[in-house]
Amino acid sequence: MNLSEYVDAKHDEHLSDLFEFLRIPSISTQSQHKPDIERAAHWVADRMRRVGLESVEIIPTKMHPLVYGESLHAPGKPTILLYGHYDVQPPEPLGLWTSPPFEPTVRGRNLYGRGTADDKGQVHIHLRALEAIRQLTGGLPINLKMLVEGEEEVGSENLWDFVKSHKKKLKSDALVVSDTSMLGLGVPSITYGLRGLNYYQLEITGPSQDLHSGVFGGAAPNPLTILSELFAKLHDKDFRIAVPGFYKDVAKLSKVERKALNSLPWKEKKFRSTVGAPGLCGEKGSTILERLWCRPTLDLNGIWGGYMGEGSKTVIPSKAYAKFSTRLVPNQDPREITQLVEKQIRKLLPKTVHLKFEVLSTGKAWVAPYHHPFFELARQALVKGFGKRAVFIREGGSIPFVTQMSDAFRIPCLLLGFGLPDENAHAPDEHIALDNYFGGIKAVAYFYEALGGVQI
């Protein structure tokens, strides 16, 4: 029995085990889910032990625990640091899910549920690949250090503290991460670029209390109007971000890379239908893929203030709130960007209101030179696992850990992603294609097998 046949034979067992993991609502941003976070961490630790990892630990942090396990019985072979996360995004708005977010459900060739793609399903691909190799060969052909965190969706702050203080323990020849998407169904992909992410929150206070809009309207400053006017001024007419200095360090795409990206088998029609809006928007002078992968953005992620209930209430509220984020590209400096953004917002706001400006997280962009031989081994493993041509792509999302690891350890980072762009990672009806889940287990198993042939 080869690896592929073994993976096929265990089809139902893979899914049943994955369902258990997905049912735990390990939402890292909502404090009431702390017990679920703990449960998920214990679940991961247990599975690490079952697939033969040793020295398995649940490592407490200031917020949510890390889970670590290792297998170091292949002297002279590559050491891989494998990273994933067991925390998930909040499922709200609940009403828009076809099946409940924490009851995994198969419809057609997809598995639906929060965390199916981002990232529990992909962590599980590795656990099952390791299990397959162990069952077929009795051991692992490489050295593996597996680290799974619980704060990816809230900025990975404590992960990095841990890594910095355990550099020796984590020393490896390459980092492998499966937390990204393929270019499309049937196009297995290796991601070599990610955007960075700064996340901000604003509180604008006008009147010291809510006021009657009849008695005070026309003279009292309305923080909702002022919030609107502020965000309208943060893009110019070409949809460029209107913050002085914002673009000064943005790396230009080389002609070669631009050509390669724009010749990928990427389906604009499919993208438009996933978005589902009457039209797209974006920065003048860039193609859609360039806008998504290689250009920075500023997006509102939430606004609220005043009366949001049934019917009408004639109020001028005291406060208006916004959550927003900037996606960053090489070589923007996240700390400098927070300063530029805050400075411009303070400059744009009228003197009739107070501002509270908070930075919830920062993270730099990352781009890899994909000439290292491990990249070629990974590409071949994808071809073998999926039976399809594999490609190199970038992605618009952010994995702060990849950037930090790349900077700190100077090792190649391989992003083997098995999600899809329309997987609804942070939205209702998140799902993973079953073909990608099973193809992923095979490809990862083949990749580890191939790495076992490399002498370090």
Among 285, 352, 356, 456, binds its own copies (CB under 8 A): 352
Q: Which of 36, 70, 149, 152 is catalytic?
A: 152
Look at the block and give the residue holding tokens 């597996």.
146
- Closest approach, Cβ 199 to its own copies, in A, equals 4
| 38 a catalytic residue | no
Q: How far is CA 184 from CA 305, 386, 388, 391, 420, in A?
A: 39, 13, 12, 11, 6
Residue 268 sits at φ, ψ, to 5 deg, of -60, -40
**Angle subtended by helix axes 11-22 and 34-50, to nearest 10:** 150
Looking at residue 446, the DSSP 8-state letter turns out to be: H
Q: How far is the CB of 342 from its own copies (least distance, A)?
A: 17
Active site residue 161: no
Greatest alpha-carbon pair distance for the chain in Å reads: 80
Interface residue with its own copies, options 2, 137, 165, 301 (CB under 8 A): 301
Nearer to its own copies, 29 or 135 (CB): 29
**Candidates 3-11, 198-206, 367-375, 408-416; binding stretch for its own copies (CB under 8 A):** 198-206
Determine if 4 is a binding residue for its own copies (CB under 8 A).
no
Buried b (16+ CB within 10 A) or exposed e, 364-382: bbbbbebebebbebbbebb
Binding mask 229-258 for its own copies (x = CB under 8 A): xxxxx-x-----------------------
Burial 80-117 (b: 16+ CB within 10 A, else e): bbbbbbbbbbbbeeeeebeeebbebbeeeebbbbbbbb
Residues 130-189 interacting with its own copies (rule: CB under 8 A): 153-155, 181
User: Per CB under 8 A, which of residues 82..141 are in contact with its own copies?
Assistant: 89-90, 92-93, 96
Between 12 and 299, whose beta carbon lies closer to its own copies? 299
**327 binds its own copies per the rule CB under 8 A:** yes
- Residue 104 and residue 116 in contact, taking contact as beta carbons nearer than 8 Å: yes
**Segment lying near its own copies (by CB under 8 A), choices 15-23, 74-82, 204-212, 433-441:** 204-212
Q: Tell me how far, at minimum, the Cβ of 35 lies from its own copies, in Å.
A: 16
Among 19, 186, 388, 428, binds its own copies (CB under 8 A): 428
Q: Count of CB atoms within 10 A of residue 247's CB?
A: 13
Q: Does 404 bind its own copies (CB under 8 A)?
A: no
Nearer Cβ to its own copies, position 312 or 455? Answer: 312
User: What is the x/- site pattern for its own copies, positions 44-83, by CB under 8 A?
Assistant: ----------------------------------------
Q: Distance between CA 151 and CA 192 in Å, rounded? A: 23
Q: b/e map of 46-66 (b: 16 or more CB within 10 Å)?
A: ebbeebbbeebeeeeeebbbb
- One-letter amino acid for residue 265 of the chain: P
Of residues 405-424, those binding its own copies (CB under 8 A): 421, 424
Scanning 17-25, 142-150, 286-294, 409-417 for contacts with its own copies by CB under 8 A, the matching segment is 286-294
What is the spatial distance between Cα 417 and Cα 440, in angstroms, rounded to a whole number? 8
CB of 93 to its own copies, least distance (A): 7
Q: Does 360 bind its own copies (CB under 8 A)?
A: yes
List, by residue number, the catalytic residues. Answer: 87, 152
